[in-house]
A and B are shown apart, each in its own frame.
Chain A
Amino acid sequence: MSIFVDKDTRLVVQGITGREGLFHTGQMLEYGTSVVAGTRPGKGGEWVLDGKVPVFDSVKIAVEATGANTSIIFVPARFASDAILEAADAGLQLIICLTEHIPVQDMMRVRNYLDQKAVRLIGPNCPGLLTPGEAKVGIIPGDIAIPGAIGVVSRSGTLTYEVLYALKQLGLGASTCVGIGGDPINGTNFIDALALFEGDPQTDKVVMIGEIGGTDEEKAADYISSQMTKPVVGFIAGKTAPPGKRMGHAGAIVEGGAGTAVGKIKALEDAGVVVASHPEEIAELLKN
């Protein structure tokens, strides 16, 4: 078992003919993910990657033709919100959006629309999902993680790789790794992922990687103390970040004294979460 993606995932790649879309589709196929279709308006009927994946003009046609059940989005920011809505209206129930720099008002409209439907969005501005040994839907390098019983959920990309790699060095594997993304408005938050890990029989322990900005980590702390039985190890990036400065991610900013690393670490510790002082320590804490 795992959460979100597994061997039954049938993936459609939106924006498959772009540089990133094409490269990472190749990587996902190599990992064993079943990529059944790609889309690019105006290029329907073509095939990419030596005839391995058919291209369709729209998600709706791709779904009808291939039975795709999950979408991953690689399209540029100015078209990304439209791509998410297109996937949702084509009936897909899981949408992973990697695109960075989507305007916040676009995401607010998208999120409020999706809330009226039975659809799960992961991201945007995230590295996607990896269920080691089963499926890779995103850009997390496949060889840095091995199958295991640790669930990983994170707001960051490369910092997540760092943690997966450190786990692997100590022989520890992951059940599923979920990148929820660094934007202020996203589809799936910490609590959503924590709840799924709590109910997943293959997951024994959970790693939660947060950062400054917003209040999602504090809310997750409330959830952990009241609802979770599985042990959680946490890490919060941005202890040295000055207030008022956006640290790369649109969502990573300390504003009006809220969203500080100190506040988040305290909330997690009060909820019984062991908080690591640096990324590699997460693996050491899980080993014990």
Chain B
Amino acid sequence: MKLHEYQSKQIFAKHDIPIPPGRVATSPEEARAIAGELGGRVVIKSQVLVGGRGKAGGIRLAKNQREAEKLAREVLGMQIKGLPVRKILVDKAVGIETEIYFGITNDRTARKPVMIASAAGGIDIEEVAATTPEKIIRAHIDPLLGLQNYNILDLAIGIELPREHWRVFNQIAKGLWNAFQGSDATLAEINPLVITDDNQLLAVDGKMVIDDNALFRHPNITEMRDITTENESETEALKHGLTYIKLEGEIGCMVNGAGLAMATMDIIKHFGGEPANFLDIGGGANAEKVAMALRIILKDKNVKSILFNIFGGITRGDEVARGILKALEEIKPEIPMVIRLVGTNAEEGRELLANANMITAETLAQAAQKAVEASTRVIEEV
């Protein structure tokens, strides 16, 4: 789960990381009032969960209250990479001398969190890593011991931070680690951490991503979820214990298991089709779940045929068959459906579906070919 900049900075502030004074606004009038409270120049920053806000014109500098209102009106009406701007952060503007990148993420290979700093801050860190890897300084953190002072020192020396800033940098590093660990984050990032023209360290931007699997122990963070930025069908699916991801193709897929679901999408492509979605109905899927999955797939109007690939293990073939029958009764889809059932209770499942007007297949390859064929036939008829 991604957090907005303003949410991330609220968490940072709780952990003694200095941030510029500012507040969130949802209207130009509110932005004007906040600018008045802050006094002087302010930055109007769109709060959307995508990168590249600056380039898209979603971050603007206002000289006074009147300009703050005008720019807030412009930014609040924008769409950035398809996402409407509903909130803006109004921050006091600061004069910037130096921009530093500072973040923590998990290093899968080392199986440890890694703290990363770079003197080349303010821009896309992945690009810095690709073009000038020597400018990226890393310190791995032992997850059992936690962040140590010498880890922070290594980074400060590595980015040639002037000594006068070491004390505050140490405080910010510890705050960032506590924010990361205490929120079960998979990313906590300050980009940029700036040295201002009056020689202060300040986190002017912030980004956090929280581990979905750990949200159960962070109810306050779960409340921060911004569902307006998420795909409606994907959110609906999650509520029912299904993992659904919408894609651009025409063949809907319903599969049990993530690996098999990916392999099923791939084989559709292999035989010349395009998958319309990833959908994992999970283990032990019952009739209710299958019916819900079918409804979600059919909401996508690009879908021209559906492929069911169920390998029974925990999931039982007859249960899936009952779910399909129940869903068909309700929805009565007019597109061709191909089904392949193997494994636990597959025989019983196939018998149940014998009169359901579905195309059956023995192997996965056959099933994919038939689904691709069926989808093109429909297109020709149209």
Contact = CB atoms under 8 A, between A and B. Distances in A.
Nearest to A105: B184
A239 B266 contact: yes
B81 to A, nearest CB: 12
Given A104-B186, A111-B111, A278-B270, A247 B313 contact: no
Interface stretch (B10-18, B35-43, B251-259, B323-331): B251-259
Interface string A101-135: 11111101101110000000000000100000000
A139 B312 CA distance: 11
A285 B267 CA distance: 17
B213 A141 contact: no
A109 to B, nearest CB: 5
Nearest to A277: B270
B181 A105 contact: yes
A238 B142 CA distance: 32
B213 A158 contact: no
Interface stretch (A60-68, A88-96, A193-201, A249-257): A249-257
A242 interface: yes
B132 interface: no
A141 B257 CA distance: 14
Nearest to B256: A158
Interface in A229-286: 235, 237-242, 245, 247-252, 256-257, 261, 277-280
Interface in B169-226: 181, 184, 186, 211, 213-214, 216-217
Main SS at interface, chain B: mixed
Contact of B364 (A103, A162, A215, A238): A162
B278 A159 contact: no
Nearest to A104: B211
B275 interface: yes
A238 B262 contact: yes
A249 B312 CA distance: 19
Interface stretch (A7-15, A36-44, A149-157): A149-157
B233 interface: no
A102 B143 contact: no
B213 A103 contact: yes
A165 B216 CA distance: 37
A248 B243 contact: yes
Given A104-B186, A277-B270, A209 B259 contact: yes
Given A104-B186, A158-B256, A248-B280, A127 B112 contact: no
A8 B142 CA distance: 37
Given A103-B213, A280-B365, A139 B314 contact: yes
Contact of A240 (B112, B269, B314, B363): B269
Contact of A113 (B144, B217, B312): B144
B123 interface: no
Interface string B262-306: 110111111000110010100100000000000000000000000
Given A105-B143, A245-B278, 15 more contacts: A78-B217, A112-B142, A112-B144, A141-B313, A156-B257, A156-B259, A158-B255, A158-B259, A159-B257, A161-B260, A161-B343, A211-B259, A214-B108, A252-B259, A278-B270
